Structure 1
Amino acid sequence: MSLRLGSIAPDFTVQTTKGVIEFHKHIEGSWAILFSHPADFTPVCTTELGEVARRSSDFAQRGVKILGLSANELKDHEKWVEDINEVNNVNVDFPIIADGDRKVAKLYDMLDHLDDTNVDQKGIPFTVRSVFIIDPKKVIRLIITYPASTGRNFDEIIRVIDSLQLGDKHRITTPANWKKGDDVIVHPGVSNEEAEKIFPGFRTVKPYLRFTNSPKLPF
């Protein structure tokens, strides 16, 4: 069955650069990001993992656990992490899954089946750049898949986490290009009477489009 928004993130047990991890147990009670990489010692991946390490405090403030994945063995990961730290002047302190057999990649449909050149020496497809945001109930809330050639925008990933966390707590949604602190939209399921109590002074643009000041995030 294909994974969709609202699916429960499948559980797995894997070797990582931080030891053996049971996924559901590891993320219990937290938000989580699971993101995949085609291979170790590749240029785009090296910049991405460095950026995640650089922004580790941003994820920690939001209660988000990070788990990377690359389609190589553990011994390669350990050497690669040294390169990532050196090139980006960071300390990669989050786990990276050793998924040489593509166990997790298959479980989460991360394999590049369409590009027949994107394979390892054994002819097994590499992973594409998948991102899964998973909430504390282990529900998948976002899925983005980038081509192997394009590095991810982690500003966007953090932006979506902020939107989801605010929406879960405050009965709001966020408009196009929303950023932390911008006005938000009153959820369509909230009546005008309720809105006056919850969001005093909200403004109506159309009966179905009502704006209010953004609730504050706790950081």
Structure 2
Amino acid sequence: MTDAPALPRLNEPAPDFDAPTTHGRKKLADFRGKWLVLFSHPADFTPVCTTEFIGFAKLQEQFAAIDTQLIGLSIDSTHSHIAWTRNIKQNFGTEIGFPIIADLSMKVAHDYGMIMPGASDTAAVRATFVIDPEGVLRAMLYYPMNAGRSVAEIHRLVVALQTADTNACAMPEAWVPGQPVIVPPPKTPEEAEARAAEGYNTVDWYFSTRTL
């Protein structure tokens, strides 16, 4: 029986890596001071992965605008990655401008819990990790082999995390910039009693929103 992968934990340091990529050797420390979206795909030259890489490439400038770097990964060689990205540019007119980790040893994939024995012992599932400028893992998303991710949702998630950090608030379902945010609920009976008079849009003592 194959052991289940050890998953990294939210709000703890992301697993370190030092690996070859299509942009030269990269380490987690190279991205210190920026947000990082690290995402794995099962294999090069596969159709669902191709659509995802096109999606990430089309939003790369929007990620850059929020100080976020993209880096892909699969258990393929650098030569395979280069051939695949050239194929995407030739056949789909989209240039892949972010690095892709060549994880032939599967070390990075195992450290990040990207190998799911129930899906495949030799390919990384569609996993996405959001790492903050301090190297702390802030979000993880896992998708099955046969369903592609929403890159727009990943971008929205990073914006929500950044906004929550800056404004000491929480974000409601499907929040986008311009919408009200959630005020942290009171922690004592006295704070709960005072909440209604604090100027927020308060539905009940535990549920208040405000605009930024």
> Same-fold call, TM > 0.5?
yes
Equivalent of residue 14 in structure 1, options 19, 31, 34 = 19
- Cα deviation, 1:160-179, whole Å, max 9, x if unaligned, reads 11111111010111111222
Q: Does 1:107 align with 2:106?
A: no
Q: Does 1:164 align with 2:169?
A: no
User: Structure 2 unaligned runs (5+)?
Assistant: 1-5
Partner of 1:172, secondary structure, is: coil
Contact 1:186 1:195 in 2 (8 A): no
Contact 2:115 2:122 in 1 (8 A): yes
Q: TM-score, normalised by structure 2?
A: 0.89
Partner of 1:37: 41
Partner of 1:206: 204
Deviation of the 1:195 alpha carbon: 10
Partner of 2:159, secondary structure, is: helix
| Bigger Cα displacement from structure 2, 140-149 vs 177-186 | 177-186
Partner of 1:33, secondary structure, is: strand
Partner of 2:62: 58
Deviation of the 1:188 alpha carbon: 2.1
Alpha-carbon RMSD across the aligned residues, in angstroms, is 2.0
Tell me: CA distance 1:37–1:202, structure 2 relative to 1, closer, same or farther (3 Å): same
Partner of 1:88: 92
Partner of 2:3: none
Deviation of the 1:206 alpha carbon: 0.8
Query: Within 2, Cα distance between the matches of 1:136 and 1:56?
Result: 18
Partner of 1:5: 10
User: Structure 1 unaligned runs (5+)?
Assistant: 119-123
Deviation of the 1:137 alpha carbon: 1.1
- How does 1:139-154 map onto structure 2 within 5 Å? 139-154=136-151
Query: Within 2, Cα distance between the matches of 1:3 and 1:99?
Result: 18
Contact 2:8 2:111 in 1 (8 A): no
Contact 1:50 1:85 in 2 (8 A): no
Deviation of the 1:148 alpha carbon: 1.0
Query: Within 2, Cα distance between the matches of 1:52 and 1:211?
Result: 32
Deviation of the 1:67 alpha carbon: 0.7
Partner of 1:121: none
Query: Within 1, Cα distance between the matches of 2:15 and 2:98?
Result: 20
Query: Within 1, Cα distance between the matches of 2:31 and 2:201?
Result: 39
Partner of 2:203, secondary structure, is: strand
